[in-house]
């Protein structure tokens, strides 16, 4: 495993070396350049597979001769988790590297910062990861598009299942930042709408990455809920699960949990993965549609590793950009934006559309239950929840989105 | 009732974890006076090495011996690493100005981050459970994990062992003596080098032990170092630096507060819903602020036996040599014509560096002539940014109003916070500024209706006349150069002399009628105002403001710029800002491993220029003019 990581690092270093030689590329004058900004140094676990997926899609199109003979090229930048640095990189990519469009973003505030830059400087920005609803709604603008199902969509998917449970007394545990706050807000609102009379008896907001798991579990248990809505992920989730398991918090209690079925977050839990949680995620080993099987086989052949959700997101971001460029037939920003609106393309997950009304893609997620099998967590009884079914009505969207967007 | 008891036990378990890390830091500081930023890195490394031994090599399969042996051996290995760092790096710079070692340890932090990623990979690693301790015991109908019970015991046990070590062995006696007065200990013929090295071993060992013992509790991951270091500092300061018992008391106080605050229901204050249970990161800093105001040397700390902490006497501020003046004019001329030679991106970088130069100059104003180091200068930068952003966002004010409102807001808070801070000195003062900065950060983070929370405020761009990159560059140039010159003028004015008098000898300064506290308070406020101006400029430049502007990493950046340039010179911080920002900007674009290279560069600079870059130049300069000395 150690060697594999080194290979990955060496490989990506090589990719940078190539990307960092703009003079060669510019000499041809014909390459289409994408500027990609992400928190590589602070979110390494998620963004390694993401970049692999990204490069795979890029290599595929370039191996096929590019777009009308024009090769695609990416310039990667590490924002170190700081929005202000992301804005500086955006400026550098546009002014010095002369990229045709911007993409990337993992943290919500960084997505919003680049989105703000895109609006001010009239550059296309295809956000891949950031989940915040504000990106396409409250702070939406003409130049910003987002691929991944948003906080609202993922919460709505879980509400659908949660409403089927008999539980009326709920507790929430959520990291204390915008993603966690919005997830809880939407879950409460949507569940109350579907199931009038549900009560929320405890709301815990531990600091992101700093959960005091024992105390948090105790505080939830003290409220004696019938079910728990969990939004924590990564190290916080592991701590929460360990303390909760040992203290019996999850016994006789249903749990609905955001993102927990994603391999990025479930795999580190190994045999301690909690059973029978309702989760959104990505059962990479079980989705056997032709488009996904091909993606999975190609990915494994290329990287000798299995795909994570980030791999799909990276792959599809490039995928969407390629389809957009074909449709636009130009790298003029306004033409590219027009092409993005209503753009349809096929993801390994199925057909996806970038909605004209709010620039949100209808990429979905898988909803299912967790189970431990062969010493690791897997998803069972899952189904693909198409994103288009989990968005608010057009009228509500228009209400939330600025008039000039 | 049963819930409260179990919650109390939860607090005790967390206190033990916190104490193990903090005790090592406290011991190192007590003797060497080094604010060891790399302590969190040793904690993280301890966890990673212990993971490799217990899970990676599967020693845990051998039961208790394998598991506990693995954790202990990992702690010894990391302790030895601490020794290597001390011998190769820190030993060479003990004579440097106070806090300079901080810069070196920051370089170590950066290197360890990339090295850890390279060796262990990015994914979180789940540590093994302690053998035979997967279960829980029953306490009044509540289940409580066995391992947490063990932790509750380990904390006081380590405290007891340390007490024995310090009070019943010759080595311990020497360490306590060195904590009180290390010059005297040296004068009595004790081998200082050996003492310092062994202290570093013990401190790093304890940090790594704390990390290893977290294996059954939390996954091993790359953010462990920075997550723990601020908390550890707070515990050390609240307890009293160098006091191990105080560290335990402080850890207990903070951990229990954090455990019980989760039960506090939300309430309304002035129409705003206040949610105490959400503010889990704040109580530690609030406790620190309160403790430092009431007891300036921490709960069980003692004032340093003599006021002199740094060995060296601060150099005299000389009149600017004519050559330097001409160099300044040349640099200014170059900056004025810059837009004709560089493209848009060059201007973006230049604008950002200019703003950081003003930040560095303002921090230096209180740190250098004022003698008040700040670990929380980002507070005023952030306040300036928010002051401007709120004006534009909520009142639709033009940019000029925002550029005035930013420094005003920062200055007002400077007056408020400064009043408390100037009553302290040295590292205690610095930590109080950090506490206030964290409070500012948390307000920006929590008051979503006003500040937009962590999503920030967006769309705060300059007025239409200043949107051009070159126009905004000239605006920034004008304001930053004016700011730097005003600060410089104040250092040479009678006010600056009074300030330096207060720094060098408070007693004598008081005797000749200088109100030292008031002068320092004014300097503190001035520094805040100019940091606020930089923040306001930064907002319109970036188009948005986020709580990260007031966060610890920003404060660290400011500190690094000043230290790198040389705190004892007036021009140094300006050079430091250019070098630090420039290095960072270039490296991020050139290499994936930018943290490794940046860390190594910092260490190389530290070893080459222990007086800072400008300090080094000044020395060279004075060498040629021996008569000046």
CB B226 within 8 A of CB B233: no
A246 and A373 assigned to the same domain = yes
Closest B-chain CA to A141: B459
Q: Give, in order, the Cα–Cα distances in Å from B186 to each of A28, B195, B303.
A: 69, 10, 20
Closest B-chain CA to A97: B345
CB nearest to A95's CB, from B278, B344, B454: B344
Q: What is the pLDDT of residue B308?
A: 44
CB nearest to B345's CB, from A13, A95, A210: A95
Q: What is the pLDDT of residue B305?
A: 57
Give the total number of structural domains in chain A. Answer: 2
Report helix, strand and coil shares of chain B as percent, to nearest 5: 75, 5, 25
Question: Which of A51-65, A178-192, B196-210, B579-593 is the least confident region?
Answer: B579-593
A41 and A170 assigned to the same domain = no
Average of per-residue pLDDT across A135-164: 95
Q: Reply yes or no on whether the pLDDT at A22 is more than 70.
A: no
Closest B-chain CA to A207: B280
Following CA atoms B114, B120, B125, B127 in sequence, which dihedral angle do they give, to the nearest 10 degrees?
Answer: -110
The CA distance from A240 to A231, in Å, is 11
Average of per-residue pLDDT across A97-111: 93
Q: What is the pLDDT of residue A395?
A: 94
Residue A230 lies in a domain: yes
Chain B residues within an 8 Å CB radius of A20: 589-590
Q: Give, in order, the Cα–Cα distances in Å from A235 to each of A242, A269, B279, B359.
A: 11, 10, 19, 35
At residue B120, what are phi and psi to the nearest 5 degrees? Answer: -105, -5
Pick from B165, B152, B162: nearest CA to B239: B162
Summary mean pLDDT of chain B = 89
CB A307 within 8 A of CB B163: no
**What band does B1 get if pLDDT is binned at 50, 70 and 90?**
low
Any B CB within 8 A of A2 CB: yes
Q: What is the pLDDT of residue B624?
A: 64
Residue A96 lies in a domain: yes
Chain B residues within an 8 Å CB radius of A117: 543
Question: Which of A27-31, B78-82, B158-162, B390-394 is the least confident region?
Answer: A27-31
Sequence-distant (≥ 6) Cβ neighbours of residue A111 within 8 angstroms: A105, A127, A129, A130, A132, A135, A146
Closest A-chain CA to B8: A215
Q: Domains in chain B, please, with CATH?
A: 2-294 (1.10.3470), 342-552 (no CATH)
Q: Which residue has the tokens 């930089």?
A: B534
Any B CB within 8 A of A267 CB: yes
Tell me the ipTM for this assembly.
0.86
CB B457 within 8 A of CB B545: yes
Q: What is the pLDDT of residue A17?
A: 42
A210 and A170 assigned to the same domain = yes
Chain B residues within an 8 Å CB radius of A222: 3, 263
- Inter-chain CB pairs, A–B, below 8 Å: 212
Q: Reply yes or no on whether the pLDDT at B521 is more than 60.
A: yes
Please tell me which of A155-159, A271-275, B464-468, B549-553 the model is most confident about, judged by mean pLDDT: A155-159
In the three-class reduction of DSSP (H, G, I as helix; E, B as strand; rest coil), residue A361 is classed as: strand
Q: What is the pLDDT of residue B450?
A: 87
Chain B residues within an 8 Å CB radius of A108: 454-455
In order, the DSSP letters of B174-227 are HHHHHHH-HHHHHHTT--HHHHHHHHHHHHHHHHHHHHHHTTTTS-B-TTHHHH
**What band does B161 get if pLDDT is binned at 50, 70 and 90?**
very high
DSSP state of B53: I
The CA distance from A210 to B23, in Å, is 20
CB nearest to B3's CB, from A42, A80, A218: A218
Q: Reply yes or no on whether the pLDDT at A139 is more than 60.
A: yes
Query: Which candidate in A90, A118, A218 is best for mutational testing of the B interface (most B CBs within 10 A)?
Result: A218
A369 and A256 assigned to the same domain = yes
| A51-78 confidence digits (pLDDT tens) | 999 999 999 999 999 998 899 999 999 9
Domain of A82?
Answer: 2-148+288-364
DSSP state of B52: I
What percent of chain B has a predicted confidence (pLDDT) above 70? 97
In whole angstroms, how large is the CA radius of gyration of chain B?
25
A96 and A187 assigned to the same domain = no
Residue A7 lies in a domain: yes
Residue A399 lies in a domain: no
The CA distance from B11 to B271, in Å, is 32
Q: Reply yes or no on whether the pLDDT at B526 is more than 60.
A: yes
Any B CB within 8 A of A296 CB: no
Pick from A308, A226, A235, A231: nearest CA to A56: A308
Any B CB within 8 A of A64 CB: no
Chain B residues within an 8 Å CB radius of A92: 345, 348-349, 589
Any A CB within 8 A of B544 CB: yes
Query: Which candidate in A109, A133, A231 is best for mutational testing of the B interface (most B CBs within 10 A)?
Result: A109
A136 and A202 assigned to the same domain = no
What percent of chain A has a predicted confidence (pLDDT) above 70? 93
The CA distance from B462 to A334, in Å, is 24
Residue scoring higher pLDDT (B597 or B625): B597
| B106-134 confidence digits (pLDDT tens) | 999 999 999 999 999 888 898 898 988 88
Residue A106 lies in a domain: yes
CB nearest to B143's CB, from A12, A204, A248: A248
Chain B residues within an 8 Å CB radius of A5: 118, 120-122
Residue scoring higher pLDDT (B133 or B350): B350
A272 and A354 assigned to the same domain = no
A255 and A346 assigned to the same domain = no
Q: Reply yes or no on whether the pLDDT at A223 is more than 70.
A: yes
Q: What is the pLDDT of residue B385?
A: 96
A91 and A165 assigned to the same domain = no
| CATH code for the domain of A174 | 3.40.50.2300
- The C-alpha of B268 sits at a distance from chain A's nearest C-alpha, in angstroms, of 17
A231 and A378 assigned to the same domain = yes
Contact yes or no for B263 and A83 at CB 8 A: no
Between helices B170-180 and B192-213, what is the axis angle to 10°? Answer: 100
Q: Give, in order, the Cα–Cα distances in Å from A35 to each of A44, A262, A321, B401.
A: 19, 27, 12, 35
Q: Reply yes or no on whether the pLDDT at B150 is more than 90.
A: yes
**What band does B625 get if pLDDT is binned at 50, 70 and 90?**
low
Residue A403 lies in a domain: no
CB nearest to A112's CB, from B120, B456, B589: B456
A34 and A74 assigned to the same domain = yes
Average of per-residue pLDDT across A347-371: 96
For A241, half-sphere exposure in the C-beta direction (CA atoms, 13 angstrom radius) is 27
A326 and A359 assigned to the same domain = yes
Any A CB within 8 A of B582 CB: no
CB nearest to A109's CB, from B135, B219, B546: B546
Q: Give, in order, the Cα–Cα distances in Å from A71 to each of A64, B552, B571.
A: 10, 42, 49
Question: Which of A20-29, A140-149, B579-588 is the least confident region?
Answer: A20-29
The CA distance from B536 to B410, in Å, is 10
Q: Give, in order, the Cα–Cα distances in Å from B218 to each of B9, B146, B298.
A: 18, 15, 30
Consecutive H or E run containing B100: helix B100-120
| B295-323 confidence digits (pLDDT tens) | 888 898 877 655 444 445 567 777 778 88
Chain B residues within an 8 Å CB radius of A40: 592
Sequence-distant (≥ 6) Cβ neighbours of residue B427 within 8 angstroms: B29, B35, B237, B241, B373
Any B CB within 8 A of A178 CB: yes
| B238-250 confidence digits (pLDDT tens) | 998 888 999 999 9
Sequence-distant (≥ 6) Cβ neighbours of residue A157 within 8 angstroms: A149, A280, A364, A365, A367, A385, A390
**What band does A6 get if pLDDT is binned at 50, 70 and 90?**
very low
Chain B residues within an 8 Å CB radius of A238: 124, 126, 218-219
Sequence-distant (≥ 6) Cβ neighbours of residue A83 within 8 angstroms: A107, A109, A110, A112, A113, B456, B542, B544, B546, B548
Chain A residues within an 8 Å CB radius of B110: none
């Amino acid at each position: 495993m150690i060697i594999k990581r080194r290979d990955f690092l060496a490989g990506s270093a090589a990719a940078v070396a190539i990307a960092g030689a703009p003079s060669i590329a510019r000499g041809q004058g014909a390459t289409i350049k994408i500027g990609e900004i992400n928190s590589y140094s602070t979110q390494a676990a998620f963004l390694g597979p993401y970049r692999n997926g990204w490069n795979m899609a890029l290599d595929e199109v370039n191996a096929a001769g590019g777009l009308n003979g024009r090769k695609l090229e990416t310039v990667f930048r590490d924002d170190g988790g700081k929005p202000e640095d992301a804005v500086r990189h955006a400026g550098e990519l546009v002014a010095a590297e002369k990229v045709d469009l911007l993409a990337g973003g993992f943290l919500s505030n960084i997505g919003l910062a680049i989105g703000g830059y895109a609006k001010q400087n009239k550059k296309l920005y295809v956000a891949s990861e950031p989940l915040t609803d504000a990106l396409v709604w409250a702070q939406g603008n003409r130049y910003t598009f987002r691929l991944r199902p948003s906080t609202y969509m993922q919460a709505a998917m879980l509400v659908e299942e949660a409403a089927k449970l008999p539980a009326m007394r709920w507790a929430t545990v959520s990291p204390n930042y915008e993603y966690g706050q919005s997830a809880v807000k939407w879950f409460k609102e949507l569940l109350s709408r579907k199931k009038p009379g549900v009560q929320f008896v405890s709301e815990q907001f531990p600091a992101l990455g700093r959960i005091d798991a024992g105390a948090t579990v105790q505080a939830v248990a003290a409220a004696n809920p019938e079910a728990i809505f969990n939004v924590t992920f990564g190290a916080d989730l592991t701590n929460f699960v360990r303390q909760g398991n040992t203290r019996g918090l999850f016994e006789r209690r249903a749990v609905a949990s955001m993102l927990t079925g994603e391999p990025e977050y479930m795999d580190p839990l190994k045999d301690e993965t909690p059973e029978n949680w309702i989760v959104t995620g990505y059962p990479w080993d079980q989705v056997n549609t032709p488009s996904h099987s091909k993606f999975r086989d190609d990915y494994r052949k290329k990287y000798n590793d299995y795909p994570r959700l980030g791999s799909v997101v990276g792959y599809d971001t490039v995928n969407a950009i390629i389809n957009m460029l074909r449709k636009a037939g130009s790298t003029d920003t306004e033409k590219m934006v027009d092409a993005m609106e209503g753009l349809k393309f096929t993801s390994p997950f199925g057909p996806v559309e970038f909605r004209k009304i709010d620039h949100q893609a209808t990429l979905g997620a898988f909803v299912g239950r967790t189970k431990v099998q062969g010493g690791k967590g897997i998803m069972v009884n899952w189904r693909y929840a198409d994103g288009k079914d989990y968005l608010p009505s057009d009228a509500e969207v228009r209400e939330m989105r600025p008039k000039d967007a | 009732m049963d819930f409260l008891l179990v919650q109390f036990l939860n607090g005790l378990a967390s206190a033990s974890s916190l104490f193990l890390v903090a005790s090592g830091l406290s011991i190192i500081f007590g003797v060497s006076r080094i604010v060891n930023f790399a302590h969190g890195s040793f904690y993280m490394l301890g966890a990673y090495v212990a993971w490799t031994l217990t899970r990676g090599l599967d020693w845990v399969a051998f039961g208790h011996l394998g598991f506990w042996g693995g954790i202990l051996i990992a702690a010894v290995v990391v302790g030895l690493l601490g020794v290597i760092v001390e011998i190769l790096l820190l030993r060479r710079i003990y004579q440097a100005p106070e806090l300079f070692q901080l810069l070196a340890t920051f370089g170590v932090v950066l290197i360890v981050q990339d090295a850890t990623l390279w060796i262990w990979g990015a994914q979180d690693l789940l540590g093994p459970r302690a053998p035979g301790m997967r279960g829980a015991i029953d306490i009044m109908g509540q289940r409580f994990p066995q391992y947490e019970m063990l932790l509750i015991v380990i904390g006081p046990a380590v405290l007891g062992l340390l007490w024995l070590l310090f009070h019943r062995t010759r080595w311990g006696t020497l360490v306590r003596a060195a904590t009180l007065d290390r010059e005297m200990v040296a004068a009595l013929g004790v081998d200082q080098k050996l003492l310092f090295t062994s202290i570093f071993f013990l401190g790093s060992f304890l940090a790594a032990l704390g990390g290893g013992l977290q294996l059954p509790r939390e996954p091993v991951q790359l953010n462990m170092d920075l997550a723990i270091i601020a908390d550890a500092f707070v515990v050390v300061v609240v307890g009293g630096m160098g006091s191990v018992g105080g560290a335990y008391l402080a850890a207990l106080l903070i951990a229990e507060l954090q455990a019980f605050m989760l039960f506090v229901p939300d309430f309304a204050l002035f129409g705003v819903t206040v949610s105490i249970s959400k503010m889990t990161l704040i109580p530690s800093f609030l406790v620190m602020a309160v403790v430092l105001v009431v007891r300036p040397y921490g709960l069980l700390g003692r004032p340093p036996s003599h006021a002199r902490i740094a060995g060296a006497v601060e150099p005299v501020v000389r009149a600017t040599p004519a050559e330097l003046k001409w160099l300044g004019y040349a640099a200014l001329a170059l900056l004025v014509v810059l837009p004709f030679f560089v493209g848009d991106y060059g201007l973006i970088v230049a604008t950002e560096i200019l703003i950081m130069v003003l930040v560095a100059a303002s921090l230096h104003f209180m740190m250098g002539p004022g003698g008040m180091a700040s670990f929380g200068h980002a507070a005023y930068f952030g306040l300036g940014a928010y002051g401007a952003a709120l004006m534009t966002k909520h009142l639709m004010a033009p940019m000029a109003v925002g550029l005035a409102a930013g420094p005003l807001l920062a200055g007002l808070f400077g007056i408020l916070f400064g009043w408390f801070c100037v009553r302290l000195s040295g590292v205690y003062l610095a930590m109080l500024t950090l506490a206030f900065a964290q409070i500012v950060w948390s307000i920006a983070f929590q008051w979503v209706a006003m500040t937009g929370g962590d999503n920030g405020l967006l769309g705060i761009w300059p007025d239409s006349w200043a949107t051009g990159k070159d126009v905004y560059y000239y605006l920034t140039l004008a304001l930053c150069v004016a700011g730097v010159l005003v600060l410089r003028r104040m250092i040479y004015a009678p006010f600056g002399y009074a300030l330096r008098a207060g720094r060098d000898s408070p007693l004598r300064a008081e005797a000749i009628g200088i109100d030292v506290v008031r002068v320092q308070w004014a300097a503190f406020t001035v520094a805040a105002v100019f940091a606020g101006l930089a923040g306001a400029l930064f907002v319109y430049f970036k188009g948005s403001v986020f709580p990260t502007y007031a966060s610890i990493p920003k404060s660290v950046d400011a500190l690094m710029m000043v230290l790198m340039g040389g705190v004892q010179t007036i021009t140094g911080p300006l050079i430091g800002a250019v070098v630090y920002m420039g290095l960072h900007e270039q490296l991020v674009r050139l290499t994936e491993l930018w943290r490794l290279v940046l860390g190594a560069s910092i260490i190389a600079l530290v070893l080459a220029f222990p007086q800072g870059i400008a300090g080094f130049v000044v020395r060279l300069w004075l060498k040629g003019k021996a008569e000046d000395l």
